[in-house]
Structure 1
Amino acid sequence: MKRVVIYGGTGGIGLATARALRNRGFALHLAARDGAKLQEAAASLGETTTSAGDVTDPGFFAEVAEAAGDSLAGLVYAVGTINLRPLGKLTADDLTSDFRINALGAFLAIQASARALRAGAGEAGAGIVLFSTVAAAQGFPAHASIAMAKGAVEGLAVSLAAELAPQVRINVVAPSLTRTPLAAAITANEGLSSGIAAMHALQRLGTPEDIAGLAAFLVSEEAGWITGQVIGVDGGRSMLRTKG
């Protein structure tokens, strides 16, 4: 059975993507910090192995690659941050942390598994999916740190998509605000979240399943001629003005 590594597969978009990939028949290897949540997710998914560790530890990626095996059909890096602070309140540590978790982690994950991805490529190529944000292209106040980090993710994706082709495809999904545990501090405030939802042409916030469907498709052989793309799944936020 073809196997996909998912970093951050215990909740939110990562777990929803894991479910979507299992529904497509992939075996999974989940990598995340919380060992208890890893075991819970693995038990609910079936055909799933796990690695517990922290993406801020460079040695973790080699451990994941070894545990996941010598042949991979895909890799999903669904680890991220939401650090919303204005310019005057951002520190160098904030920017370093956001870059390390979002961009450097994605690089190290791909680097560690590149050989296995080439080995498992098949005719359609192995599929890698990274995650950006609508804010990387739109420009929102108080988003400097996360937009800078996710902009680096987009640059990384297109560079490595060229370098690893044709055996490996790399694409980026760029959501708008989505109802995930990571975004709970924002979405739990119904007044605030309703106001943000109204800024979207489709008049609602995203769900993990909205994002996961595209992510799983991009990993799969059905997306065999798609690589180097940044694709918005954002309720129209990046391209459309609301009627109001």
Structure 2
Amino acid sequence: MESASFVVVGGSAGIGLEITRRLAAKGCPVVVISRSAVSVADLPGVTHLEADVTQDEIDIGSLPERVKGLVYCPGSIRLRPFHRLKEADFLADLQINLLGAVKAIQACLPGLKKADNPSSIVLFSTVAVGTGMPFHASIASAKGAIEGLTRALAAEFAPKIRVNAIAPSLTDTPLARTLLSDEGKRAAAADRHPLKRVGKAGDIAAAATYLLEDASSWITGQVLAVDGGMGALRTFK
């Protein structure tokens, strides 16, 4: 991967932190936009920009002049029966998943256009968009909007900027802590996946890093399933 600047929104925890670590290990300058700098303070080549993308404007003047890649990681897991969901719940999921991504892309767009080679945007969907799951109405709606945004922007920005998304299944991160809070829940979640385990942050970060690299330069407009087989397979014994 060529030495260039990357922006990772939500890069100080979970999958975003793992992406930041992998980019830093490759010697890439990284700007992390998040509420806390504690976990990235000692990573070489990493600059922190404090902001809550659901509330704050992004300081465009603090962003790199040339942006090789942008990853938008913030998300939510709001699992409730449909009759218990309020309009405010749908709006909150759209705010963090869709509108925050729109804000980040618009802020970074001038820098993405200035990159020497085609730059890359990586967004996050969920397996629950393509595979109907109970209690996922709000988050699947918001992430479905992300998949639409991915394809629309991939068409609009081609050939200068590539846009792809990753659709994970349940991944062991702080965001999913309550769903994996004991060994019984963890074992049941693992058993639902054909590969018989839940995801790790590194599984998803490896895919995201690949989509940022020039090795993926002929990939755009795609939603890559990194889900332990959950979305495509049914195993019967």
Classify the TM-score, shorter chain: over 0.9
AA partner of residue 242 (structure 1): T
AA partner of residue 16 (structure 2): G
Structure 1: stretches of 5+ with no match in the other structure:
none
Q: Tell me: CA distance 1:25–1:222, structure 2 relative to 1, closer, same or farther (3 Å).
A: farther
Cα separation, 2, equivalents of 1:50 and 1:168 = 24
The CA deviation at 1:25 is 2.7
Question: Kindly, what percent of the aligned residue pairs are identical?
Answer: 44
2:66 to 71, 77, 89: 71
Match of 1:6 in 2: 8
Cα separation, 2, equivalents of 1:70 and 1:148 = 34
Structure 2: stretches of 5+ with no match in the other structure:
none
The CA deviation at 1:155 is 0.4
SS at match of 1:60: coil
Match of 1:115 in 2: 110
Q: Would you say 1:88 and 2:73 are equivalent positions?
A: no
SS at match of 2:120: strand
Cα separation, 2, equivalents of 1:213 and 1:56 = 26
Q: Would you say 1:130 and 2:123 are equivalent positions?
A: yes
Match of 1:19 in 2: 21
Match of 1:186 in 2: 179
SS at match of 2:154: helix
How much is the aligned-residue C-alpha RMSD, in angstroms? 1.1
Task: Judge conservation of contact 2:169–2:228 (CA < 8 Å) in 1.
Answer: yes
**What are the residue-to-residue correspondences of 1:1-244 with 2, within 5 Å?**
1-34=3-36, 38-43=37-42, 45-57=43-55, 59-61=56-58, 63=59, 65-120=60-115, 122-123=116-117, 125-244=118-237
Which stretches of structure 1, 4 residues or more, deviate above 6 A after TM superposition? none
The CA deviation at 1:242 is 2.4
TM-score, scaled to structure 2: 0.96
Q: Deviations over 1:60-104 (max 9, x none)?
A: 22x1x3212211100000000000011111011110000010011
Moved more, 85-94 or 188-197: 188-197
The CA deviation at 1:23 is 2.6
The CA deviation at 1:223 is 0.9
The CA deviation at 1:42 is 3.0
AA partner of residue 42 (structure 1): A
Cα separation, 2, equivalents of 1:151 and 1:136 = 6
Q: Relative to total residues, which structure has the larger helix share, 1 or 2?
A: 1
SS at match of 2:57: helix
Task: Judge conservation of contact 2:27–2:45 (CA < 8 Å) in 1.
Answer: no
SS at match of 1:106: helix
SS at match of 2:149: helix
Q: Deviations over 1:145-185 (max 9, x none)?
A: 00000000010011011111111101000000000000000
AA partner of residue 61 (structure 2): E
TM-score, scaled to structure 1: 0.93
The CA deviation at 1:30 is 0.4
The CA deviation at 1:39 is 3.8
The CA deviation at 1:40 is 3.3
AA partner of residue 92 (structure 2): S
